[in-house]
Amino acid sequence: MSKQTWDQADVATKKPVPDGLWVQCRKCGATIFGKTMEAALNVCPKCDHHHRITARVRMEQLVDPGSFEPFNADLTAADPLGFVDVKPYKSRIEAARRKSGENDGCLTGVGFVKGRKVVLGAMDFAFLGGSMGSVVGEKLARATEHALDHDLPLVIVSCSGGARMQESGYSLMQMAKTSAVLARFDEAGGLFISVLADPTTGGVTASFAMLGDVILAEPKALIGFAGPRVIRNTIRQDLPEGFQTSEFVRDSGFVDRIVHRRDLRSEIGRIIDYAGK
C-alpha cells in the first residue's frame, strides 16, 4: 500500500474531536481540557487568566444552584434613529441575539448568594460588546428600583465596551438614568456592590460601575474610560506599566479589592453580612 493510501486510510478512521472538548487560553495559548476550564470557572489553570464569560454563566457561578429568577427578560432594543453604518442597527441586533441567545446585553433578576437574597445584574460582552443601550440602562434601573422597594442588596457585574453608539443620545441618557436611581438607592441606605470584569470601559465606567459602595474587580481586568491605545495616540506618550489594569486602578484608589473569580461568591456574602443586609 502506498504512503498516500495509508494516509487516506488513516484520515478515514480518525474520529473527529467534538467541539468544546479542548479550549485554548487566550492569554498563554495553553490547550486545556474543556471540562477542566469549566471547573475552574473559565480561569486558565496555567496562567490564571480570567476569560470572559456570558451573563448567564456569570449568574450560574454567582448564585446558589437553582435560585436565580430573571426579570424584564423580554425587553428588546428599538431603532429610534434608523441607524445604519456598514449594516443596519436592526441587523446587528438580530445577529447579536442569535450569537448570544439573549435579547440584549444585560441579564437581571433575583437570586441567593451564599444564602443571602440579592438583586443581580450582569452585562454580556457577547451581545455587541456588552454596550449600554436603552434596554441595558432600563433593566439596570429597574433592578435597582426592585432592590430599593424590597430592601435587598444590589450586585452588578460590569463587562462592557461602553455606550452603544448606534443609539447615540438615547444611549448616553442611560448614564444619567442609572446614576440617578443609584443615588436614590444610596439615600435609602441600600448596599450596592459593583464588580468590574474585563473590560469595563467608556460610559459604563463613567456612570454606575464606579458608584458602588464597595467596588470589586477581577484580576488583570481592563478598567478605564478611554482605552490605553486611544490615550497613547492622543497624548503621544508611553503609558505606565500595567496601565488601566484592575491592579493599577486599585493602587490609584478607584477599586477597593481585587477578587479571584473562585472567591467572588464568598466575598460578596461577607460584604453583605458586614453591612448588616
State whether 10 and 89 are in the same domain: no
State whether 131 and 238 are in the same domain: yes
Range of the domain at 90: 52-274
Q: What is the pLDDT along the chain (277 residues), one digit of tens a residue?
A: 555 554 454 444 555 546 679 999 999 999 999 999 999 999 999 999 999 999 999 999 999 999 999 999 999 999 999 999 999 999 999 999 999 999 999 999 999 999 999 999 999 999 999 999 999 999 999 999 999 999 999 999 999 999 999 999 999 999 999 999 999 999 999 999 999 999 999 999 999 999 999 999 999 999 999 888 889 899 998 888 889 999 999 999 999 999 999 999 999 999 999 998 8
- The predicted-structure confidence for 205-223, as pLDDT tens digits, reads as follows 999 999 999 999 999 999 9
State whether 62 and 19 are in the same domain: no
- The predicted-structure confidence for 108-130, as pLDDT tens digits, reads as follows 999 999 999 999 999 999 999 99
Contact 195, 264 (CB under 8 A): yes
d(CA 143, CA 146) in angstroms, rounded, equals 5
Which of these, 139, 74, 149, 152, lies nearest to 110 by C-alpha position?
152
What is the CB neighbour count within 10 angstroms for residue 216? 24
Residues in the chain: 277
For residue 118, give the CATH number of its domain: 3.90.226.10
- φ, ψ of residue 256 to 5 degrees: the values are -80, -45
Please state the domain count of the chain.
Answer: 2
Which residue, of 51, 67, 88, is where some domain finishes? 51
Question: Residue 22: beta bridge partners?
Answer: 33
State whether 104 and 60 are in the same domain: yes
State whether 82 and 22 are in the same domain: no
State whether 124 and 255 are in the same domain: yes
State whether 243 and 203 are in the same domain: yes
Contact 264, 216 (CB under 8 A): yes
Cell of residue 268, nine digits: 460578596
State whether 156 and 236 are in the same domain: yes
